[in-house]
Amino acid sequence: MAATTDFWGALDAKELIQRTPLSILREQATLLGQKTGNLVEAQVESSTSGGDFMLALKLVVPSLDNYTYQLLRIRHSASLYPVIDMSNYSDIKDENAFLEWLRVKLSSPDTHRIVGHLLSQAKS
């Protein structure tokens, strides 16, 4: 039997691991629950389609029979970036651009209005 030759080279898994759009969205989802006393929570749903990853950030109100509002939806390939904003199919080129896009989206008056309305209903 011939010796096995390793053609992979020096792979260091720890050095190869990067922060993903999924992990960033999950961090933000956790923060929303903390800020609202879990009256309004956020969940990240992940699926695959045509070789791409599909991610959705949804607002959930447990006290209203788990009412769910989809706040955003993105898509990316195995290479992580660019991320595609599925609301207008714009490309977000890298992690820094994604973080800025997400900051603008989550801190926008529209998002705050929706969270406020959900909080009001959760407290009714």
What is the distance between the alpha carbons of residues 101 and 90, in angstroms, rounded to a whole number? Answer: 11
Residue 43 has pLDDT above 70, yes or no: yes
- Rg over alpha carbons for the chain, rounded to the nearest Å, is 19
pLDDT for 13 equals 75
Report the chain's mean pLDDT, rounded to a whole number.
Answer: 94
What is the distance between the alpha carbons of residues 74 and 62, in angstroms, rounded to a whole number? Answer: 24
Q: The tokens 């096995």 sit on which residue?
A: 4
- Which pLDDT tens digit goes with each residue over 84-123? 999 999 999 999 999 999 999 999 999 999 999 999 999 8
**Which CATH number applies to 19-122?**
3.10.450
